[in-house]
Amino acid sequence: MNKVFYQCGGSGTALVLLHGWGFDHQIWNNIRPDLETHFTVYCPDLPGHGRTPPMSAKEFFYTLQTFLPTSYTLLGWSLGGVYAMKFACLYPQKVMKLINVATSPYFLLEEGWPGIHTSVFTRFYQRYLRNPKQTIKEFIQVQTQHSVTNINIDFPEMGIDLESGLSVLREWDLRKELAELNRPVYFLLGKRDSIVPAGLADTLSKQYPDFYVKLWPRAAHMPFLSHKKEFINYIREVAL
């Protein structure tokens, strides 16, 4: 069985953080110390990212259960949010609360649903392959609106199979499954996000009236970096 790489630290209520496409567990390093004063924080690498080898979603979810506690709050950012939503729908008894950050149950644009064109993923992937570090650096600068000036970013290890992650973003449609999830569900979106449109907030509020949807007016795709203090306070308020 393939092994999922993860890091764990802190004490208290269990909190699982799933990172986004092209990154790994290190993207959480700037907020982990603060979160670990309140939570036991688990940070796994997604399939084909960082130190986790390629594997199916089914195998990934099964392996998670071998080292995670019996229940926890599950937080997913971007691609990690898609994995988090799918896992919560499959194993709702394990997920006390689901927090979705800058993500969507369906990423692609279609009539009546805010999203982006699949070509956006392709262009970013091509740039990433040519120059991973520069692409990641520019992405962070854009998605934090250049508001992060003294942050320490540990660049992710080059992914082994990033194409499968793009397939998840292009192909997974969790809208119907999510509607049947009987757990507290939170969406934290950024008004300035160029990947997950701000219009999704209204769409989610209408289609899922029981969900908690928050739109931060000055945040983009990485609110945990651009609005670190507010983000940590929000997670404490929601998850404790």
pLDDT in tens, 156-202: 666 667 788 888 999 999 999 999 999 999 999 999 998 999 999 99
Domain segments of the chain as ranges = 6-239
Q: Share the mean pLDDT of the chain.
A: 90
What pLDDT, on a 0 to 100 scale, did the predictor assign at position 135?
80
| Active site residues per annotation | 78, 193, 221
- 50: alpha, beta or left? (left if phi > 0; alpha if psi -120 to 50): left
What pLDDT, on a 0 to 100 scale, did the predictor assign at position 144?
76
Domain 6-239, second-level architecture:
3-Layer(aba) Sandwich (3.40)
pLDDT in tens, 60-118: 999 999 999 999 999 999 999 999 999 999 999 999 999 999 999 999 999 999 999 88
Task: Say if residue 54's pLDDT is above 60.
Answer: yes
What pLDDT, on a 0 to 100 scale, did the predictor assign at position 162?
79
